Amino acid sequence: MNMSVIELVTPIVTASVGIVGTLVAIKYRHKLSQKRLKEEHICPISECITEDTLIMSKLKDVLNDISADRICIFSFHNGGHYYSGKSMQKMSMSYEQTDNGISSIQLDKQNIPVSACLTTVKPTIENGAFNFYDTQAYPEGLCKYYLLKDGVKSTFHWPIFDLYDNAIGIVRIDYVKRKTGLSDEDAEKLLTLSKQLPGYLISPQK
């Protein structure tokens, strides 16, 4: 009689243990799956805010350090395609920090055709810098028009390259209140900044 009970109960106990083990395994796999999904689907807005905060803080530090009126970054981007199929290469002011009393111009400096500013972009990329103590002597073009319109007296530019030496943007310093020259020490700080910026600007997935 006792043997019959044991024989009857044993399969039930074994089945129960198996079910519990399966449920625990399923729950564990679910937790791992949720953790993996969370890691893979980082909120793009939160990530962007974190990165942009670091960039803006970096620009503000440099702005204050060299006593400039404005520091900004122009980023190159694709603006669509012409009917010919050729890509529209454009640039937009993606970041800007200004001194007290200096108006922001960022919203007005979006989707500018690179072809309209060749007199600025070409020498900046080829020479590693493009500096003008007096914007009145600036080469003719859309960029000169913008500078004079915005009241910029002196301006200094450095290209931003990625790890493959592709130009991805330009960092620019403006003096609006008065013409101002840039010391060798300050120029070196801006050159260093231009080399550091790819680490902040380039997406980890690129």
> Is residue 206 in some structural domain?
no
Asked whether residue 132 is domain-assigned, the answer is yes
Query: What is the pLDDT confidence band of residue 32, given thresholds at 50, 70 and 90?
Result: low
pLDDT for 1 equals 47
Q: pLDDT digit string (tens) for 59-85?
A: 999 999 999 999 999 999 987 888 888
Instruction: Say what the pLDDT of residue 31 is.
Output: 65
Q: Quick check: is 153 in a domain?
A: yes
Q: Report pLDDT digits (tens) over 79-131.
A: 788 888 888 899 999 999 999 999 999 999 999 999 999 988 999 999 999 99
Domain that holds residue 17: 1-37
79 in the same domain as 150:
yes
Question: Which tens digit of pLDDT belongs to each residue from 168-202?
Answer: 999 999 999 999 999 999 999 999 999 988 887 77
Flag whether 17 is in a domain: yes
Does the pTM surpass 0.85? The reply is no
pLDDT for position 48:
76
Is 130 in the same domain as 109? Answer: yes
Q: Quick one: 13 and 59 in the same domain?
A: no
CATH code, domain with 157: 3.30.450.40
The single residue listed with the structure tokens 């900046």 is 124
User: Could you tell me if 79 and 153 lie in one domain?
Assistant: yes
51 and 100 within one domain? yes
